[in-house]
A and B are shown apart, each in its own frame.
Chain A
Amino acid sequence: MNKALLILLLLFAGHWQSLQAQTTISGKVLSSENDEELPGVNVVLKGTTRAAVTDIDGNFSISVPSEESILQFSFIGFRSKEIRVGNQSNIEVIMEPSTEALGEVVITAFGIERDRKSLGYAVQEVDNKLITETNQPNALNALRGRIAGVNITSSSGAPGAGTNIVIRGINSLNPNADNQPLFVIDGIPVSNETNITGGRGGANFSNTNRAADINPDDIESISILKGPAASVLYGLRAANGAVIITTKSGKSGKTVFNYRTTASFDEVGRTPPMQQRYLRGFNGLYNPTDYRADGPPVPEGTPIYNQWDETFRTGNTFQNNFSFSGGNDNATFYGSLGRLDQSGILPNSNFERTNIKIAGSLKANDKLTLDGAATYINSAGVNPRMGIGGAGVISYASRYAPDVNISDFINPDGSQIRYSTQLDNPLYFANNAFQEENVNRFLGNIGATYLINDWLTASYRAGIDQYVDNRFILTSPTTLIGAGSNGSINEQSIGYQEINSNFLLTASRSLSENINMDVTIGNQVTTINTTNLTASGSNFVIPDFWSVNNLSQYQARSFPTSRSIIGVFADAKFDYKQTLFLNITGRNDWSSTLPRQNRSFFYPSVSMAYLFTETLNLSSSNTISYGKLRASFAEVGKDAAPYLVGNYYSTLVPFRGVAGVERNSTIGSEELRPERTRGVEFGIDLGLFNNRLRLDANYAIQTSIDQIVPIPVSRATGFTNFVINAGEIRNNIWELTADITVVQNQNFVWNSIFNWSRLRGRVLSLPEGLDQIVFQPESPWVKQRVQVGGRPGDWYGWPMSRVEDPNSPFFGELVIVDGYPDVNNNWRGVPLAEDSYIGNAFPDWEGGWNNSLRYKNLELSFLFTFRKGGYVFDINRRMRYGQAGGEAPSGAETELRNRLVVFQGVTNTGSIENPNWVPNEEAVPIGVSTLYGQAFRYRLASEFNGFQEASWLRLQNVALNYTLPERWIGRTPFNSITASVTGNNLWMTTPFIGFDPEQSAYGPGSNVFGYVGTNVPATRSVFFGLNFNF
């Protein structure tokens, strides 16, 4: 590979070697609207990072190497412009206002800024204002509902909880795959790992995704590279797309200070109904120690509690950010200090974060520019144990009988008041089973750009992302789950170090009057080293002393990993008359995680964009002012996780002084090949009515083949999983965005952006011999499995039986047997072992509608998000209906019980072959022994085990900003003061009964979707903020 690069280098160097003197160009930038000078316009020498900014009078000066040099002018709210220097030394530039909400220049791979119009693929960008205006501590949450084709869900309402982002659907059948895109900050890939406690299937704690460490106030913009064509240059780690974050940097000119402070009140959002009619007990008999709420009716005068009110409290979030920026023509500087303090809606839950960032650039001479940035982050928090298994705060609370006061849980001696041997008190549990986390992280990068000559630029950047995540997980011996081992503690130190080195050589030439060419060749080297040191054990010596030193049985485990990727790539762009654009790329990666013979792999991409309005000369037309067609094809390879190949042995926990070894139950093929994701994409971009209406439509087909999957194998093979290349998924994606300027005049502007996307996945093949993959947890009532021809996220279970004959007048009615609803067509002999398809976990379509209105100093924006379809398994609902294991009905939600009910449906008076349906008239009691305890009836129907549709329409965010009039602050040192009120998740409508169905039972980065109800529910919050600029 070294030779290939060397030859390329020589080619470029040999052909066009020339050197020219530098000249300085000065000029002025004016607005076309009123001929006013424009301050703060970015002036960039094309193909370089050399840049200047216009001063208060719109003046700039910049040195350029030749007459061929091209200057790019960009400013928010204006159309970008490119001007060839020619023989002028003083240039007057007139910029036209743009009605587009999104800038014309977008950031693409390796921080390369490109004209939106030249792109042959879809990229969407969100700026700082939208991110900070939501006040979300996790910047990803601010993107919810704003980007077509991108599904962003917060895993829980716990402080610091992680957020899951999936771009254009699930690309992997691997239950352990994370499907998360690559995160890049200022050109350097960084970690967005979620180290889920207990591994990918773990559901016990609200773990944080590491992108949540980023201070939203430091973000200038976020650009989402959706398909492989957009992200291909980043190589294998961007196979699921890429999130490109550009952080703020210093601007030359007057030093500007900014201070922003917000405070919020957070309370639990939706809560499910709980029955309030029956006391503790069983079969109508009162029993104060029974875990079931199936006792006698509540006698009058007995105090009754709403368990949700008792469990949840009001949380708060305080955010304070201070930043400053300034500099001169040769050097700029930016610094910021951020602090977040958040307390959760559950006891013993909080999150805090401190960010310090500095960034600067230095123009060493006319040819060399240096820059660097460093960020230190500390994020820490505590969260109580949740979990799908029933041992969690929410699970316990949802099974509490209404006549028990949750808040009264401590005996005078400090021990827990536990009314049943099957339930821990949720508040006590929160304080005695939790995870504490403390992350210290450093992000740094340093770069240099050197102008070799007027058309050739070399740039180099190295960056590091390093953190240590210290965890302390406690399960006290006084809890039900801790008693079996007499308490356990797990102290873990997770280290992560990623080093990236990027080298780029860019050549920009006009090949003829009409054809321009940009060619970049580059090299990227990535090494990722992780450490994972755990000291864990059980058997407390002193019952309430919380330290690993207090364990009589403990062990230490260390699992370091190393992974390296070397990539070389080339990217060639051509344009013809700024009308037809062609972009060809190729990249070859060498990955350390694949077997030697398969570790080198190449993948290409081609994309085209055609501005048909230029050809048709429509740009002056008022109706169609802008029109572009685009098409692309790309392929991205993907490697495996480290150490998947082959098989290993591990030692066991010592027993009677001897450890012993065992063979690991996962074995990896020695023939592993890279995975591949292929994408084809077509799109159209239209600007209508003077660009008052911008439409963007996109259709993409993305196919993932040769997936690396640890397929579950029969345990009788001696293993549980075999890692091989297998399986193929295809996703079809429609994305639509409409951007409408409804009103625009001097005092009032109303802009409305609507986005919609529809995604269909299809499983084209599975590993040979395997006809399905079942995802955990499988309950017999509701399980998720993928099979050929099916879709990822397909649910199977035992639905209630309905009349299936479309000619019957009773078509679709419930089938009633002996007065009770029948399940899974058991009435005609279908055994329960044969599951039926009952729905899919992913929505049919989803989207968002954002409005921003500005009247003088007052700004209002509101965002609605919606989704249609998407079935979820509400584990909590099953617990509210029955006991966690499903054996016995505890009935925290069954108001109907002990009543006579006539189920609406039909009964069969004919034979199985020739059914004769008559309306059901039989009244039957709803009781424990007559209904809930019976197999084949009601209780086992998926619908009554928490399986529900989770469509919704919600008011995601409302923000009201008021900028104080200048005359009020004229005498103060402030440039501006803005006051704001923001509401998040204020309202929603959904047919779903339960907590907010968005909260996944599994953490971010889990490939299991649609299980809900066991995590901390979503919050509803109101923020008050002040922003000072001086």
Chain B
Amino acid sequence: MKRFIQTILSTVLLLFGTTACDNLLDINVDPGRISEDQVTIPNLLPSAIRFTANVQFGASQYGVQYPQYLGGQAISQYTPYGFDQLWRPLYTNAFPSLQEIIVRAEEVEAFNYSGIAKVLLAMNMLTGSSIFGDLPYTEANQGTSNLYPCYDTMESLYEVHIPELINSAIEDLQRPLPELPTLTVVRNDYIYNGDLNKWLKAAYALRARYHLHMSSRNPSLINEAANDVDMAFTSIEDDLQLMYEENIQNPWWSFLGNPVNKIMQPGSYITNMMNGTAQYPGVEDPRLPFYMASSDPDNFTGVEAGRLVGDNPDVNVNLTADTWYSRDIAPLLMITYSELQFIKAEAYFSSNRELSYQSYLNGIEASLVKIGVPNEEVNQYLSNELIAVGALNLQLSDIMLQKYISLFLQIETWTDMRRYQYAQEVYPGLSQPVINQIPGNPWIQRSNIADDEPGTNTCLPEIPNQGVPLWLFNN
């Protein structure tokens, strides 16, 4: 009613003064949204953590068909895929929020917040670059001042920017706490509840993963990875993971775990590895029923790589609301203690077989305990002769297969596979998809260019087809 009168009056008032008009016209501020100066760092952190989980899940969502954890979609046949589920949350959500935390926090010397944000940003860039290769970084997130951000090469990301970020995070996390009482304690931290010590371990864990990647180009760096592992997580309690809740469910539940949506199914490679019919003949992995459900409890049959859901009526396995990773209230794993132990096992495989073997066993145990396999079965499995092969008999493939099982549904495994270029000696029994849409039938090596980019960005690098190895794996 007020505005009604204002409108009508302004016709009259128009003749006498400008105030009425200005009142009527100066209204272009959105009352329903927050302005930049009202935002605080503790407001941004929880969003940034959730976005980071979206990036990590997004990378895996369809991408885990490449390491053959799941199958059944055309992507498993190597049809062009631009990892939109990774690209979009990375650049529209995670990158801007994390960088904003870093900028705002450094301004007020809240290095506790900037350290956390740097760990997460570095992890996202590492995942992104290991998939896309070249990515915008130094020119990214500059808004309207740079509408066509050029890409940094994978080489410069790996050689310069990512290590800088991680090292800077390690530095920040050890600096004095901010004096501002509102910022002294990190609030709204879903992952470690503000425990900077754990964040510091996570930074080393990330650096271990990074050094492992880099060892592909510079084998000596694998020792750095081993050293980082010793500074990182000491138990599964330290795992970098985001726990979901009943109302905002774990994304694997929403995608495949719920009772209805089953557009992908566990692949035959992982299923056979665990059901005792392939690499571990006669050994039924106690993790199998935690990983997937079968309509026939005595028989787990996965989908062959390159086959679509429904092609083979014998396939009987699924992720369900009861399987461990796809429950509604379940953590999304990002970096685990188990992974670090396998990094260590791999690092010492040539130099210290005994230590390597011990780490291998630690990794397996952590993986079983993590998902709740009863102690008795853990011990039984660990003492099986195909598992407890002994330090002398330990093969690289033992480590990598167990790491493969432990990192179920994590895209990090794809990097492992490409580091070894899908070698049969490392991944025995791994075969190419039955239908391969890339000319020349190569193994899949990288993401296609993100679908959104052509047409919006004029500064694009030349992206070869998905069968051409990335810089990191091109030796």
Name the CB-closest residue of A to B89: A715
* Whole-angstrom distance between the Cβ of B374 and the nearest chain A Cβ: 29
Interface segment among B19-27, B114-122, B169-177, B216-224: the answer is B19-27
- Contacts known (A717-B140, A771-B455); A660 close to B50, Cβ less than 8 A: yes
Can you name the residue of chain A whose Cβ is closest to the Cβ of B4? A499
- Per-position binary interface string of chain B over residues 289-315, scored 1 when its CB falls under 8 Å from any chain A CB and 0 otherwise: 000000000000000000011110100
With contacts A6-B15, A652-B50, A888-B308 taken as known, whether A665 is within 8 angstroms of B92 at the C-beta atoms is yes
- Is B7 a contact partner of A718 (Cβ separation < 8 A)? no
- Residues of B near A660 (CB, < 8 A) are 43-48, 50, 188
State in angstroms the CA–CA spacing of A718 and B34 once bound together: 18
* List of B residues within 8 angstroms of A968 by Cβ: none
Note all chain B residues with C-beta closer than 8 A to A559: 30, 32-33
A523 at the interface (CB under 8 A from B): yes
CB atoms of B11 and A553 under 8 A apart: no
Which residues from chain B contact A291 at a C-beta distance below 8 Å? 310
From the candidates A553, A722, A933, name the one contacting B248 in the complex (CB within 8 A): A553
1/0 per position for A638-649, CB-CB distance to B under 8 A? 000011010111
Known A525-B11, A553-B247, A553-B248; contact A935-B33, beta-carbon cutoff 8 A: no
- B42 CB to closest chain A CB, in angstroms? 9
Q: B308–A716 contact, CB under 8 A?
A: no
Contacts of B26 in A (CB 8 A): 592, 596
Q: In the bound complex, do residue A527 and residue B93 qualify as a contact, i.e. CB atoms below 8 Å apart?
A: no
In the docked arrangement, what's the CA distance between A410 and B182, Å? 58
Stretch at the interface among A91-99, A137-145, A355-363, A477-485: A477-485
Known: A5-B14, A719-B92, A719-B143. A643 touches B25 (CB 8 A): no
The CA-CA distance from A558 to B30 in the complex, in Å, is 11
> Which residue of B88, B247, B258 is within 8 Å of A552 (Cβ)?
B247
Query: Which of A566, A653, A886 has the largest count of B CB atoms less than 10 A from its CB?
Result: A566
CB distance from A553 to the nearest CB of B (A): 3
Contacts of B408 in A (CB 8 A): none
User: In the complex the two chains form, is A643's CB within 8 Å of B30's CB?
Assistant: yes
Cβ contact of B140, chosen from A283, A289, A718, cutoff 8 A: A718
Interface contact A715-B88, CB-CB below 8 Å: yes
The reply on B156 being an interface residue by CB < 8 A is no
Are B36 and A649 closer than 8 Å at their CB atoms? yes
Once the chains are docked, how many angstroms separate the CA of A720 from the CA of B452? 10
A661-B453 contact in complex given A645-B28, A715-B87, A718-B95, C-beta closer than 8 Å:
no
Looking at the complex, which one of B3, B34, B92, B245 makes contact with A648 (CB distance below 8 Å)? B34
Query: Which residues on A sit within 8 Å (CB–CB) of B261?
Result: 480, 483-484
Q: Inside 8 A of A422's CB, which chain B residues have their CB?
A: 263, 309-310
Contacts of A560 in B (CB 8 A): 31-32
- CA A966 to CA B143, docked complex, whole Å: 76
A888 neighbours in B (Cβ, 8 Å) = 74, 308, 310
CB-based A-B contact count at 8 angstroms: 257
Residues from chain A with Cβ under 8 Å of B29 in the complex: 643
Which residues 769-792 of A sit at the B interface, judged by CB distance below 8 A?
Answer: 769-774, 780, 785
CA–CA, A503 and B12, complex, Å: 10
Q: Which residues of B contact A594 (CB under 8 A)?
A: 28
A208 vs B326: C-alpha distance in the bound complex, in angstroms? 40
A714-B142 contact in complex given A499-B4, A662-B97, A933-B435, C-beta closer than 8 Å: no
Cβ-defined contact, A525 with B47, below 8 A: no
Does B331 belong to the interface (CB within 8 Å)? no
Q: Would you call B10 and A566 a contact (CB within 8 A)?
A: yes
Say whether A2 faces chain B, with CB atoms less than 8 Å apart. yes
Q: Closest residue of chain A to B43, judged by CB?
A: A661
In the complex, how many angstroms separate the beta carbon of B81 from the nearest chain A beta carbon? 11
Contacts of A421 in B (CB 8 A): 260, 262
Of all chain B residues, which has the CB nearest A831?
B465
Say yes or no: is B389 at the interface (Cβ < 8 Å to chain A).
no
* Shortest distance from the beta carbon of A175 to any chain B beta carbon, whole Å: 13
Q: Chain B residue with minimal CB distance to A485?
A: B254
The number of residues on chain B lying at the interface, defined by a beta carbon within 8 Å of a beta carbon of chain A, is: 91
Query: What is the CA–CA distance of A563 and B27 in the complex, to the nearest angstrom?
Result: 7
Q: Mark A707-745, 1 if CB is under 8 A from B, else 0.
A: 000001111111110100000000000000000000000
A9: B residues at CB distance < 8 A: 15
Residue pair A483, B34 in contact (C-beta under 8 Å): no
* Chain A: CB-nearest residue to B95: A718
Pairwise interchain contact A290-B88, C-beta atoms closer than 8 A:
no
CB-CB under 8 A for A292 and B310, given A484-B254, A715-B87, A785-B455: yes
Distance of B455 from chain A, by nearest CB (Å): 5
Chain B residues with Cβ below 8 Å from A652 are 46-47, 50
Residues of chain A with a CB closer than 8 A to B6's CB: 527
Of chain B, the residue at the smallest CB distance from A482 is B260
Stretch in contact with the other chain, from B144-152, B196-204, B276-284, B358-366:
B144-152
B24 touches A527 (CB 8 A): yes
| Measured CA separation A593–B29 after assembly (Å) | 9
Residue of A nearest to B31 (CB): A560
**Contact between A658 and B27 (Cβ–Cβ < 8 Å)?**
no
How far apart are the CA atoms of A741 and B458 in the complex, in Å? 60
Interface residues of B in 242-264 (CB under 8 A from A): 243, 245-249, 254-255, 258-263
Kindly report which residue of chain A lies nearest to residue B450, judged by CB atoms: A715
Any chain B CB within 8 A of the CB of A581? no
Q: Which B residues touch A289, using CB under 8 A?
A: 310
Query: Could you say which residues of chain A place their CB within 8 Å of the CB of B453?
Result: 714-716
Query: A462 and B8 in contact (CB under 8 A), knowing A290-B310, A665-B92?
Result: yes
A992 beta carbon closer than 8 Å to chain B? no
A289 vs B316: C-alpha distance when bound (angstroms):
13
Let me know if A525 and B7 touch, CB within 8 A: yes
A287 B310 Cβ-Cβ under 8 A = yes
The answer to whether A651 has its CB under 8 Å from any CB of chain B is yes
Residue picked from A287, A651, A656, most chain B C-beta under 10 Å: A656
Answer yes or no: A74 CB below 8 A from chain B CBs: no
Any B CB within 8 A of the CB of A496: no
**Cβ of A562 < 8 Å from any Cβ of B?**
yes
Question: For the complex, is A539 an interface residue (Cβ under 8 Å from B)?
Answer: yes
CA of A486 to CA of B246 in the docked complex: distance in angstroms? 10
| Inter-chain contact B8/A720, CB cutoff 8 Å | no
CA distance A460 to B8 in the complex (A): 10
CA distance A422 to B262 in the complex (A): 8
Binary interface encoding of chain A residues 1-37 relative to chain B, with 1 for a CB under 8 A from any of its CBs, else 0: 1100110010000000000000000000000000000
Q: A557-B32, A566-B25, A649-B35 are in contact. List 7 more A-B contacts (CB 8 A).
A: A2-B14, A2-B16, A5-B14, A592-B25, A661-B43, A712-B452, A716-B91
Please report A residues at the B interface, Cβ cutoff 8 Å.
1-2, 5-6, 9, 282-283, 285, 287, 289-292, 421-422, 460, 462, 464, 479-480, 483-486, 497, 499-501, 503, 523, 525-527, 529, 538-539, 552-553, 557-564, 566, 590-594, 596, 599, 642-643, 645, 647-653, 655-656, 658-665, 667, 669, 712-720, 722, 769-774, 780, 785, 885-888, 933, 935
CB<8 Å pairs between A and B, sample of 9:
A1-B14, A1-B18, A282-B310, A484-B255, A590-B25, A714-B148, A714-B456, A714-B457, A718-B99
